[in-house]
A and B are shown apart, each in its own frame.
Chain A
């Protein structure tokens, strides 16, 4: 009978899905979904309790602090409840119940007999042996940590929120081995970049998959580019709503997730309500933000060029500072400003403001023993370090969750709304002729000109007509007159139904969704120096600044993702063996639609609307849609509770590969051996010892629309600019420059890992060590081909990249007393990757570039080598110079190092004394290089310290020779170079158009850094005080993030962590005139009622 029921259930489900996926009536579906959710909450809230109710509080044995999220159930029964955030629970117990069972991640499980009373208070011992530690693994399956045969790291809510970051991973830097987290933006709401176990995909994605309560989450960076960073979508998650965050790095761990899990998975479990009384949690943090580090210009030479003081110059190529009062800037109304010709300390820093961040959260939760609810509201308001709110971020998070049970059937659902508005001041290279870029402008202010004075940008000396140089614009103009605004409304959530068929089998159906409707607008105002004004040629150099015509760009972005899965979950014990696992199918449907319209040359200045121009707006639309079916199975067989073998298999069918080639299978296996359980180690200092080994494969598909060849609407790229059709009323379509490929096969990642977890002296010392080797084969990427084939790229499967590494985490507890505890965690990560294969005839693949610096993949070398022009050398190693004394550029580019770190280390330290806790974290990343577009501009304007070489007196290129040739250009001999670089050419020596051979040394910089990432001091208010405000618990903290940055001496330019080149491998290229990073000082209060 049950059999039939199930069959029917599945068929119906199946039909239902067909209807909904083929139905154009998407809105109707949405309405129904919302309606059913609403109904469900009403039902959940009105479910009535029966029988006896037992309440109580669960606290930690060591610290007496209430433990939220402890699962409480009647022993031997399914279902149960969880403790609320104040550790309280309330459970209905039938008359015949004997005991209650309390279990929670990281605590020893306890069975407490039920007496006659209605109150049971329990204190749980923290689980030193981790035997009962339960972790969330693939597809949200909870597993005892000891049974898993791969590396896994779980981070709990308090660690995530220690320093009140607004992004969920912002507080974890330096804390997890094998996980690289970078704040790549200096602006509120900007991107956080996460990479697990390094890079293996050359041009595809290296991003981990985010899964929230079992549902994949869109993490794209919508609307962002080199100029605007509107953040990545995973940053939408309110960190306060996170219960645990589980990081799965290896393929064996992620194989169940299929194609998108090949770069690791971050599994997020959010807080839910627990039965018991209503619990109110409130937290607030106020944070001051500042610029963390800015470039340090040379302090010897001031404004001018070629050694001469020129008041209209944007360079620091003038004479040495002499401190003498000099007039500067334009003469306006027969007056001119006066200032000493001397270096201004902290010029940039003092031009910026303190920003602030307000982060407030409130949650209400509770429930009965059958039904729970959880509601939370979070609000973030953040204004960055630039004046005005032109760099700001506002976010509202609303979460509503509920669950209920009817006998063997359980249903829970959550719906989340995220509304955000972000404003961003353009970084990177300005669109010429349209408007300028703040950071490019600020770099072009000689170090003797007080930047902060320029803020009065309408002042007659600093306005469009009379700003001191025609080569750049007043940076404050950009802040006040240009701008951008990104608005997004996003809804994500899921409905989850479970049916327990019998004591060993249950079924689960989950439907998730993630829909985002966003849009952004970018604008530049129009301006032009008045005819005859200083900046229209009235300066001593006769230079006229080109007008800015202004523009408006309006972008509409819609993304959607629907994810369904059906699982049969089983768990059974046969004498010495335990078997648990699942079999399931999944269907994923996702896509996006972009519509971008732009118009340039405003008719009415200061009015930003697509209609406000004599020019016709240009529009582009891009739609992407993909679907995927998956079928999978996983089983873990445990022997005597110390040996565990897990086998996983999955098959995917994707829409993005050609029919007939779109089905692919991949397996994984892992073995966990708990040595300390298998043999008696009591006589040794070893308190726990586990070995693990795993092998996993994942396959992945490709982007949509790479199978059939297409035409593109014609857009002829010029050296700069374009000719875009339609032209003269004629439409043009051109053969795409990329050959697509119907023979693509899926990419495949094969990974094995070995590891161990060993603890000594009752867990006072714990070491977790992992070695892994991951190969990504058959990478799908647009391979550059000779344009004489008619194309520039072909989509091919090719190449093999290997990454190997070790990850180590050492935890020490040197002091553990009743009042004082000292905990120390040290993490070490070393990754070595190598390009093993490129297709025949191809020496390299360019990943990213600026000017002539290329980030390339070269066979036999680490992925991401910097190549740029270098000098030609004579056979005895001397630099060959030309007739002008400048080095000759070698025909082939030279290597300038690669992106790979020597190592990454983190050190977290916590002291706790009674109610006080003091923690700090260091993050040290050593080795690797990056390209700096800021350095490029600083060298151009002579602000870089390196440009003071030889005190800027004429010099002969050190160790150089000249090549003597005959009239026909045949080589005769080398002779010592005697041609000096004259004073007027010293600036040319530092710029690529005149000294291509040597300038890249000053632009490709060491990217090492050491940061004091986090310092927190918190104090739990004693019960006596807390009780007075009717609260259960209150904690006040002061904290700082990103407080101190140490950079190597060779880099006085920019923190290498920031980048405007995207959040993937291409972003490792470096930065191109990016906003400097931020540091945070704040205080927070958390109260639980």
Chain B
């Protein structure tokens, strides 16, 4: 046995040498050659990613949902894709995609970009990222009421972030916006390359300030039911400080229209589904446009005489609704823009603020700007409609509620396309457009009033007001609050 030991010495020795010197370096091949290390991140690559992520979801599947619930369009009788939306039959497993992508995609990219910008005192990206973060967060709060905020984005350090109240998140976002606006982001302009990566304003920081101010205005207006005093104080301060609001559209109009580089609503609903005729003109909006002789029906539905389907009436048989076979498919294009806040929306919000808090001074002009900007989105002119006696002439003599109804209905009609989700939110906030007591097949139906979906599962008149927390939160985070029905209003709801 002794002999054996001696015999193996060289072997053992060489093995040890081999493993100590050969091993360590040889095994050092685990740096991913396919993906850069996270230390190589910069706002220049993160920010455009986040913006496209926000646009892809808010202007994509959430716009589809928003447009069905805002009754711009409805599920086709001859396909299936969006029936669960049009029947208000959404459960925790249905809408995980936007929640997952907005948190883990958009917001996490802004989060890291903000961290880097702050460490480098780059207040330009700091402002841009803060505004986009606030915009994205606000959409989530408005959809889900409560989401993680103070404990979010900590990665492995906190796998189960607690949920914060929507109002507290709003306050936090407003403070973030104020802090970012208070920095010096103008003395060093963005380089040409950096400006190219700003898909929204091409690096014009003054427009980012306007976007920030308009977003603040929007958030304050959301609070008018739940926090009227705070809303008024916030808006008053904005005006006192002489805040500039958007007069141009804030969003992305740069889609090339090629595969994987198109308007997300189009890419999803037209290019990537086997049926590109899933969404048909809803009687609700189309009848209102027709009644008012509004030329935008030709832009939304590509015909002056749309053949609509009644909202959610996809199960009707050919005998019951023979016209459905020829019902109008909505008009979409691969290069349609995604607006985060449109000029029209900005004007309409200002109109409302002027009416609410400043006695209506300048409101009419602002309203008319809004309608003009809304028409301009489709290249049309609204002058005839705004002229005295015109269908959309401002109701100067009306009560505040009458004026609000007019403002919000006009806003609603302007949100067709990738901006549709806002129409749903604003109805939850203001109650406009009104809800109809009869279905749109009735002779008594008033065009433009929202009808309860024909196959709604929540019970007649119980409109959806939110989304339920998705399975991706419920199954992975024990802090997810108990499920609240889809018909319960969010904190700011009317």
A interface residues with partner B (beta carbon < 8 Å): 3-4, 6-7, 10-11, 14, 18, 21, 306-308, 310, 430, 432-433, 471, 505, 540-544, 546, 568, 583, 585, 600-601, 615-616, 618, 621-623, 625-629, 631, 653-656, 658-659, 662, 704-705, 707-714, 716-725, 727-737, 739, 741, 784-792, 794, 841-844, 852, 869, 882-884, 886, 888-889, 891, 893, 940, 965, 969, 983-985, 988, 991, 993-994, 996
Q: How far apart sit A625 and B33, CA to CA, in the bound complex (Å)?
A: 9
Q: How far apart sit A729 and B256, CA to CA, in the bound complex (Å)?
A: 10
B356 within 8 A of A: no
Of A618, A653, A717, which one neighbours B97 at CB under 8 angstroms? A717
Q: Is the CB of A709 within 8 A of B260?
A: no
Residues of B within 8 Å of A728, CB to CB, are: 196, 199, 254, 256
Q: Is the CB of A6 within 8 A of B11?
A: yes
Q: How far apart sit A733 and B107, CA to CA, in the bound complex (Å)?
A: 14
B46 within 8 A of A: yes
Known: A659-B27, A659-B28, A940-B80. 16 other contacts (CB 8 A): A4-B10, A11-B14, A546-B270, A631-B15, A704-B29, A710-B32, A714-B49, A717-B97, A723-B260, A727-B199, A735-B108, A841-B477, A882-B457, A884-B456, A993-B80, A996-B89
Q: Is the CB of B52 within 8 A of A723?
A: yes
Q: Is the CB of A984 within 8 A of B315?
A: yes
Report the minimum CB–CB distance from B148 to chain A (whole Å): 4
Residues of B within 8 Å of A615, CB to CB, are: 258-259
Q: Is the CB of B27 within 8 A of A627?
A: yes
- Of the A-B pairs whose beta carbons lie under 8 Å apart in the complex, a sample of 28, sorted by A's number, is A7-B11, A21-B26, A433-B273, A601-B259, A621-B34, A623-B34, A629-B23, A710-B37, A711-B36, A714-B49, A718-B97, A719-B64, A720-B273, A727-B261, A734-B105, A736-B38, A737-B104, A787-B100, A787-B104, A788-B152, A788-B161, A790-B107, A790-B108, A794-B155, A842-B476, A843-B475, A993-B84, A996-B84
Q: Is the CB of B476 within 8 A of A784?
A: yes
Of B52, B259, B274, B475, which one neighbours A732 at CB under 8 angstroms? B52
Report the minimum CB–CB distance from B115 to chain A (whole Å): 11
Residues of chain B in range 100-129 having any CB-CB distance to chain A below 8 Å:
100-101, 103-105, 107-109, 111-112
Residues of B within 8 Å of A4, CB to CB, are: 10
B297 within 8 A of A: no
B91 within 8 A of A: yes
Report the minimum CB–CB distance from A395 to chain B (whole Å): 31
Residues of chain B in range 447-465 having any CB-CB distance to chain A below 8 Å:
455-460, 462
Q: How far apart sit A33 and B42, CA to CA, in the bound complex (Å)?
A: 47
Q: How far apart sit A791 and B100, CA to CA, in the bound complex (Å)?
A: 8
Contact with A along B135-170 (1 / 0, CB 8 A): 000000000000110001111101111000000000
Residues of chain B in range 12-64 having any CB-CB distance to chain A below 8 Å:
14-15, 17-19, 22-24, 26-38, 40-41, 45-46, 48-50, 52-53, 55-57, 60-61, 64
Residues of B within 8 Å of A544, CB to CB, are: 277
Q: Is the CB of B34 within 8 A of A732?
A: no
Q: Is the CB of A734 within 8 A of B46?
A: yes
Interface size on B, residues (CB 8 A): 121
Q: Is the CB of B83 within 8 A of A993?
A: yes
Closest 4 pairs between A and B when the two form their complex, measured CB to CB: A790-B108, A7-B10, A721-B272, A720-B272
Report the minimum CB–CB distance from A442 to chain B (whole Å): 15
Report the minimum CB–CB distance from B420 to chain A (whole Å): 14
Q: Is the CB of A788 within 8 A of B28?
A: no
Q: How far apart sit A662 and B24, CA to CA, in the bound complex (Å)?
A: 10
Q: Is the CB of B32 within 8 A of A708?
A: yes
Q: How far apart sit A791 and B36, CA to CA, in the bound complex (Å)?
A: 17
Q: Is the CB of A709 within 8 A of B38?
A: yes
Of A432, A719, A843, A965, which one neighbours B459 at CB under 8 angstroms? A965
Q: Is the CB of A585 within 8 A of B84?
A: no
Q: Is the CB of B14 within 8 A of A14?
A: yes
A886-B457 CB under 8 A given contacts A568-B11, A655-B29: yes
Q: Is the CB of B478 within 8 A of A841?
A: yes
Residues of A within 8 Å of B483, CB to CB, are: 891
Q: How far apart sit A717 and B96, CA to CA, in the bound complex (Å)?
A: 12
Of B28, B158, B475, which one neighbours A844 at CB under 8 angstroms? B475
Q: How far apart sit A653 and B316, CA to CA, in the bound complex (Å)?
A: 66
Residues of A within 8 Å of B60, CB to CB, are: 718-719
B186 within 8 A of A: no
Residues of A within 8 Å of B325, CB to CB, are: 540-543
Of the candidates A662, A730, A994, the one having the most CB atoms from chain B within 10 angstroms of its own CB is A730
Q: How far apart sit A378 and B92, CA to CA, in the bound complex (Å)?
A: 55
Of A433, A631, A655, which one neighbours B28 at CB under 8 angstroms? A655
Q: Is the CB of A725 within 8 A of B48?
A: yes
Q: How far apart sit A708 and B23, CA to CA, in the bound complex (Å)?
A: 20
A735-B109 CB under 8 A given contacts A541-B325, A625-B29: yes
Q: Is the CB of A626 within 8 A of B316?
A: no
Q: Is the CB of B275 within 8 A of A546?
A: yes
Report the minimum CB–CB distance from B93 to chain A (whole Å): 5
A786-B24 CB under 8 A given contacts A656-B30, A709-B38, A735-B112: no
Of B155, B268, B317, which one neighbours A739 at CB under 8 angstroms? B155
Q: How far apart sit A716 and B111, CA to CA, in the bound complex (Å)?
A: 17
Q: How far apart sit A841 and B100, CA to CA, in the bound complex (Å)?
A: 18
Q: Is the CB of A432 within 8 A of B14?
A: no
Report the minimum CB–CB distance from A600 to chain B (whole Å): 5
A725-B52 CB under 8 A given contacts A719-B97, A789-B159, A993-B80: yes
Residues of B within 8 Å of A722, CB to CB, are: 260, 267
Q: Is the CB of B99 within 8 A of A787?
A: yes
Residues of chain B in range 247-261 having any CB-CB distance to chain A below 8 Å:
254, 256, 258-261
Report the minimum CB–CB distance from B392 to chain A (whole Å): 33
Of A725, A784, A842, A893, which one neighbours B49 at CB under 8 angstroms? A725
B487 within 8 A of A: yes
Residues of A within 8 Å of B48, CB to CB, are: 714, 725, 727, 730, 732
Residues of B within 8 Å of A662, CB to CB, are: 27
Q: How far apart sit A889 and B161, CA to CA, in the bound complex (Å)?
A: 28
Residues of B within 8 Å of A888, CB to CB, are: 457
Of B27, B82, B107, which one neighbours A653 at CB under 8 angstroms? B27
Q: Is the CB of A583 within 8 A of B8?
A: yes
Residues of B within 8 Å of A983, CB to CB, are: 317
Q: Is the CB of B11 within 8 A of A869?
A: no
Residues of B within 8 Å of A622, CB to CB, are: 34
Residues of A within 8 Å of B40, CB to CB, are: 711
Q: How far apart sit A578 and B91, CA to CA, in the bound complex (Å)?
A: 68
Report the minimum CB–CB distance from A614 to chain B (whole Å): 8
Report the minimum CB–CB distance from B446 to chain A (whole Å): 23
Closest to A505 in B: B7
B271 within 8 A of A: yes
Of A10, A708, A711, which one neighbours B31 at CB under 8 angstroms? A708
A543-B61 CB under 8 A given contacts A433-B272, A662-B27, A737-B104: no
Of the candidates A623, A631, A704, A711, the one having the most CB atoms from chain B within 10 angstroms of its own CB is A711
Report the minimum CB–CB distance from A518 to chain B (whole Å): 19
Residues of B within 8 Å of A629, CB to CB, are: 18-19, 22-23, 26-27
Q: Is the CB of A711 within 8 A of B41?
A: yes
Residues of A within 8 Å of B275, CB to CB, are: 471, 546
Q: Is the CB of B41 within 8 A of A733?
A: yes
Q: Is the CB of B26 within 8 A of A786?
A: no
B292 within 8 A of A: no
Q: Is the CB of A718 within 8 A of B57?
A: yes
Contact with A along B384-408 (1 / 0, CB 8 A): 0000000000000000000000000
Report the minimum CB–CB distance from A732 to chain B (whole Å): 4
B233 within 8 A of A: no
Q: How far apart sit A789 and B159, CA to CA, in the bound complex (Å)?
A: 6
A786-B19 CB under 8 A given contacts A14-B14, A969-B487, A996-B84: no
Of B10, B19, B258, B316, which one neighbours A6 at CB under 8 angstroms? B10
Q: Is the CB of A735 within 8 A of B26?
A: no
Q: Is the CB of B455 within 8 A of A884?
A: yes
Report the minimum CB–CB distance from B303 to chain A (whole Å): 14
Residues of A within 8 Å of B258, CB to CB, are: 615-616
Q: How far apart sit A583 and B103, CA to CA, in the bound complex (Å)?
A: 53
